[in-house]
Each structure stands twice: as C-alpha cells, then as structure tokens.
Structure 1
Amino acid sequence: MCERRRYPSDLSDARWALVEPLLTSWRDDRARHRLNIGTPPQHSLRDLLGAVLYVARTGIPWRCLPHDYPHWNTVYHYFGRWEKAGIFERLNGLLRRRVREDEGRTPEPTACVIDAQSVKTSTNVPARDQGSDVGKKIVGRKRSIVIDATGMLLTVLVTAASVQDSTVGQTPLDRVAANHPTIRKGWADRGYREYLVDHAARLGIDLEVVRRTPGSRGFTVMPRRWVVERTLGWLMHHRRLARDYEARPTRSTAMIYIAMIALMTRRLIRESTRTLRGT
C-alpha cells in the first residue's frame, strides 16, 4: 500500500524528530499503566499530531477531517488526552528553549512582554465562558499571553472577554514568576493599570507601561510592544484561532500552544510556511 500524500500542515521528518521523543515517552508511560500490556498501538503518533495540526491550520470542524487521517473521534480523543497531560505546554517549553539557544541566547528569558487579544466565539461556546469587551466591541473570549524577547510564548490564559486586562493579567504574571525566576523586566500597553505594575513589582518584575509619543498620529510602531503584536499575528495564520471554536477554555489554550509548536518547529529547521501568496 502506497504512503498517502502529505498535507502542507504535516510534519516533515526533521520537524517530527523534534517532538517525537516526548510523545513516545508519553505513550510508553501510559502503556506501563495499562492492563492490556503488550497490545500494539493502533495509530501512528505522527499521523495523530498531523491531524491536530491540520485542524489548527485549516480551521475545519473535527468531524470534517480527511479520511486518510485516523478517525476524527480518535484524533479528538488523543487531543484531549494530550491537553490534560500538559503535553502541548511541555512541548512549547522544550522548543522555546531550543529556539533561544539556536539564536545564541540563554535558555531562560530575562524579560517578557504581556498583552491581550479579544476574539469572537462560535455558537458552541457556553455563554458563561463569554463576555463583552466594550472597548473593542467584541463578544467572546480574551487571550492573555506573555512572551519572551524573541516572541516565543511563555504562558497563556483564556478568559471571558469582559474581564479587565489588569485583573486577568495577574495570573499569567504569577505563572511567569514561578516558572521563569530569571525574568526581571517586562513591558505592557496602557490597558494595564498601575496596580498590575505594583503586583509585578511584588513578584520581582519591573513592569513598564509603553505609551504612545504625545502628539503622534496614525499607526506607530511601539517599542517592545511590536514583538507581542507580531506573535498575535503569527497565531492568526491558524484559522482555528481566527475565532474561538473550543467549548472549553483549556482546549482553546491548547490550540494556541499547538500553533506555537508548529511555528517553532519550522523555525528550528528553517522551513518556511507554505501559503497561497504569490501563486
């Protein structure tokens, strides 16, 4: 039987080699705790992850997965298992450190940038998980992300869009301070109030609010803040993130990590993202 044709979202051999050890270790660990020890796996981990990447990139419903992938129900089952086990977050951390080392930086960052993005939600998202961002006139969810100086994701939190930036920003900063004690400097936009600056100071982080130059008009590239805006733009290349389709905030968080995993694996092997531009 001939091998199926690869999709643009599928992992190349070099990209698969970056993520395969962690997924194989997860499967081996589960096998040791199962009663039916010795039963061979029925599905390729590479095909399962490729199917998840396909959904993230194209934005299709799970039920519309092409038939040459494993059954959509199986893929969604593994997606849920990996999300609960923290596999996507761990992969994000491992790849981020490799990206930093590849660019001649220390594995752990010393500075960060925080920002939030409000997006509309689909009809399957429960009303209790939604809210209205009055300033941006969006009813949906809010993604609060913290990145390092290279634009790589440190942590993300998905909440209702109605939650004020400074309020929701405390949790990501707490996570960053706990998981990355080397961080001593941070930047944010003026949507974050002074009490978040005080909260960051208690964590040992000097959080600076970047403001527009008085009298400036039109579009202006803001120092430091442009890095996080670029990261949010990267996420929008994945159509599953153009609108929040996930019923659970944790699954929405997992999709954001998946988008960053796809980006970092390409970045590490110098593989460009295929698009339709210029064709």
Structure 2
Amino acid sequence: MRVMTLRRRIALLTVIGVLCAGTIAVVAGVLGGATGTGSAGVADSTAGSAATGSPADGSAVVAFYGDSYTRGTGASSRAARWSTIVCAERGWTEVNPSTNGLGFVNNRANLPGPDLVDQVIKAQPDIVISTMGLNDNFVMPGRADDVRAAIDTDFTELKKALPHTRFIIVEPFWYTDERPESVERIIGWVRDAAVAIDADYIPGASHWMDGHPEWKAADNLHPNDVGYREIAVRMDAELAKLGL
C-alpha cells in the first residue's frame, strides 16, 4: 500500500539523516494568529517561498496555499515539512509561499509582499492544495461575515484565474484537542466553497494531531519532524484516494 510505502521511506530517510547529520536543531515558531505576528520557524528560512524543483523536467507543479502548518514551522528543515515529503514522493515541483499566522482574513493586511493568492496564480500550477483557515479562528466571531466572504472570494478568484488547474481543498488544521465552536463553522464554510468551485475535498485534517502531544515542537503549537511525517502519511493516503 502507498501509505506503508511512504512510512517506510520516511523512516529510512530519517535514519540516514540522523547518521549523516548527527544533531538536528529544531527551530520553534509561533502561529502568529493570536498576536498578529509570525516568525520564521523553519531551519531553512527560505522554506516558505521557493519551489523545490524545476518544472522544466515535466513534473507537475503543485502550489500550496496555507499557513504555518503548511510552511513547515517547527520542522528542522524544509525537507522535513509534510508538503515537501509529499511532493518528493510523487516527483512534484513544489511552490509553497505559505505564511505564518495567515488566514483568509487574519493578518492579511500585514503581508510584506504579494498576496498568497497572487503568488499561487503566478506559479501557474497544475494542482493547488489549500489548507488555509486555522488562523481565522482568532478573529471569530467578530469577523465571521468577513471570513466567510473571504473564503468564497479567494477560491472563486483562484478558480477563475486557473480554470484548468485541479484544486484540492483540505479541511483546515487545528492544533489542540480542545476546539472552539468557530473551528467547525470555518470548516463548513471551506467545505461549501470547495463544492462551489468543483474542487476535491479532504476531510478530517483538523483531527490529525489529536491525542499526540509528542508530535509537537518545543513551542507546543506546531508539529515537530515526527508530526509532519505523520501528516504526510495521512495526506498521502487521502491524495491516493483521489487518484494522485
């Protein structure tokens, strides 16, 4: 099975990495959503923006639209984040401008450069994988109408600009076993918006970290390398169900 194959490959690469590198420093980051700030929490500080390969080789270009959980904050390196593991497994070219603390609304005005929607469109990807939504819980319920409207606007804009791209919308991640009511509301809005643009939808991701504090980085907010590997395994299985 693909899931077991990926798990075995990850385990092997981990052993090799430890033997070769010796000591790995885990750099802790913050969600940024609660405070309006976001820090670079990946050992490779370029991890949030660069493509990991060249589309010239004919591989599918996959753009990720997400926050710190997709940027890889808390991981020891770019290679340890779940998006890069999944892309390496499939031979995809990764474009990942995901940003700490960002939501459909939260911290949107604080971006120092182009909006993520514009960056995704510029990449002209074959596939877009969206995981956005976690940080919007920090502006709920006061800006509920804004959040719902922004979800619809972003997905509609992406679909209009990329009519031939395959969209995979992932249920927004969550980081504690306790869940405010806003989590389910935002999940519902994201799911409805995915249906509206005829996107594939992956449910359940908000529970993938449940019951596993040992998968957390030192900040107790983000996954560590083990947590990102587990997310990669789960994501791999869901993508396989979609024929990818």
TM-score normalized by structure 2? 0.35
Structure having the higher strand fraction is: 1
Q: Which has the larger radius of gyration?
A: 1
